Structure 1
């Protein structure tokens, strides 16, 4: 093959031609060779110094003896030691002492968010605001009390659960079981709606329902409808309704009765987790605008 030079650049051609265009014999730039050499040397050095090549059931350890698994194991062990320190505080310290410690409260809010999301949010909502059939933990009047120690006990034994010490509360089915007639239930429903909304208190049915309430409901809910922490009877005079505040919704509750349930968490969560969750729920309540400090469990109407 005859040697041919490109008349424009003066470079030799390779002899290849496509559609009248001839390929120049352009050498690879020297920086490319430089970086190839540097990269090769780096790879060889890394293979020699660090763990690199698999060898069946093992691998080359490298001259430096670096072991990421050992680093991770050490980091996990250190985190476990730190965790053991503050989990012990949550398990044994007085609630007031924990609430006075900014560091523990910061841990409580961060860890509590995860615990609540994993165990409670399915029923009570991600933000604790509740939903149809499930009480808000942020608003409403508490049942068995909303101090952290009271919430912790409710978490331990549950409500109408299988725990032998479970908190028990059940509202009779006044209509289904024939305790009251339909018209009487409608009157009580009107009275209850008037307790929560004074604008409805003057309705004729509401006035008639007051006497029926005193004879059938006040024993549990109190003469003023404010409920009882001792029996877990909810406040019927606040503005929190689980099953709806419409006339039909209140009628259905009285007619069919209610028996809400919450599982016992004693066998599912460690003591420190339950106590931390109790603080988290109380903290949710305290952060709610217009809510009194310390109330955390919503009414179960």
Structure 2
């Protein structure tokens, strides 16, 4: 019997195999690893027998236990819907004030409203409801049509300037291009801007105030704080919907822009509208 060859560098016995002067070290896998590997093979075979695993032409093997992840998911969904149904029924039967006063119901409504908001409202108001140019920020306390629960519900249900809903909010700012000359328009823009910022020309503020009182106060109020019942915005809170600055005010006074919000009641139903109402009210700016 020939002597076993020992590698000089590692001190490990070689297998006797040699290629171009390179010898193979005899380093077998640990026995525990080998037995673990065999166990995984047995486990895989058992799993393939017990559960759906082997693909066929149009389906897969059913498995000994007949398990179906789709059927299990459907059961979970059915259970979730059943547990939610009692909350939906309660929301449908209660007013938004009653919903908001019930901690459990309020929590459920906020969760449902947040989900509905992301699908239906976020494209305009943003995923965080912070709005953008022409679209109101729903996190602040500036409300064109009122920020209490009833007002928010009415706005969501019937929309703003939405022709298909007879109860929609309607208000339009007149175009003052034919009523005011360019100097008066500059004056009133300077006055409105001066309510929250420094105007470009201080001498225009006083005559602009008079122009405002004569033409704008009927809707925006003599203090320029707006009238929610008319959809007239507060001009003294440094929150600008259509753009800020004297030039933007001049454009709005001359040829005002009017936004449109859909009426969601017919599309989403009263229950979802109530959930949206509670959610929007809870964002932080609700009155």
TM-score range, shorter chain: 0.7 to 0.9
Gaps of 5+ in 2: none
Match of 2:128 in 1: 127
Q: Aligned pair in 2 of structure 1 residues 187, 33: CA closer, same or farther (>3 Å)?
A: closer
Q: 1:11 and 1:254 mapped to 2: Cα distance? A: 95
The aligned counterpart of 1:92 is 93
**Cα pair 1:148 1:278 within 8 Å, conserved:** yes
| Structure 1 residue aligned with 2:259 | 260
Structure 2 CA distance, aligned partners of 1:239 and 1:25?
81
Q: Shift in Å at residue 142 of structure 1?
A: 1.9
Give 2:49's aligned residue.
Answer: 48
1:79 deviation in Å? 0.8
Deviations 1:184-209 (A, max 9, x none): 11111122223345x66x93322112
User: Which of the numbers 151, 168, 171 marks the counterpart of 2:170?
Assistant: 168
CA–CA distance in 2 between the matches of 1:57 and 1:147?
A: 57
Q: 1:29 offset after TM fit, Å?
A: 6.0
**Alignment TM-score, normalising by the size of structure 2:** 0.84
CA deviation profile, 1:78-119 (whole Å, cap 9, x unmatched): 011122222223333122222222223333333333322332
Change beyond 3 A, Cα 1:29–1:158: closer
**How much has 1:26 moved relative to structure 2?**
7.2
CA shift in 2, pair 1:109/1:6, >3 Å: same
Give the match's secondary structure for 1:141: coil
Please tell me whether the aligned partners of residues 157 and 163 of structure 1 are also in contact (alpha carbons under 8 angstroms): no
CA contact (8 A) 1:5 1:11 kept: no
- Which whole-Å CA distance do the structure 2 matches of 1:32 and 1:144 have between them? 72
2: CA distance between counterparts of 1:145 and 1:24? 83
2:191 is matched with which residue? 191
> Secondary structure, in 3 states, of the residue corresponding to 2:145?
coil
- CA separation of 1:240/1:27 partners in 2, compared to 1, >3 Å: closer, same or farther? closer
Aligned match of 1:179:
179
TM-score, normalised on structure 1? Answer: 0.80
Q: Is the 8 A contact 2:113 2:277 kept in 1?
A: no
SS at 1:54 equivalent: coil
Which is further off, 149-158 or 138-147?
Answer: 138-147
Return the offset for 1:281. 1.4
In 2, Cα distance between the equivalents of 1:30 and 1:209?
93
Q: How many angstroms does 1:47 deviate by? A: 2.9
Q: Which has the higher mean CA deviation after the structures are superposed, 221-230 or 33-42? A: 33-42
How far apart, CA to CA, are the structure 2 residues paired with 1:87 and 1:192? Answer: 46
User: How many pairs are equivalent?
Assistant: 281
Are the aligned partners of 1:140 and 1:239 in contact in 2 as well (CA < 8 Å)? no
Q: Aligned partners of 1:242, 1:12: CA distance in 2, in Å?
A: 82
164-173 or 62-71: which moved more? 62-71
Structure 1 pair 33–285 and aligned structure 2 pair: CA distance change class (3 A): closer
Matches within 5 A, 1:213-224: 213-224=212-223
State the SS of the aligned residue for 1:268.
Answer: helix
* C-alpha RMSD of the superposition: 2.9
**In the aligned structure 1, how far is the partner of 2:258 from the partner of 2:24?**
88
Distance across 1 between alignment mates of 2:158 and 2:14: 91
Segment drifting more, 205-214 vs 105-114: 105-114
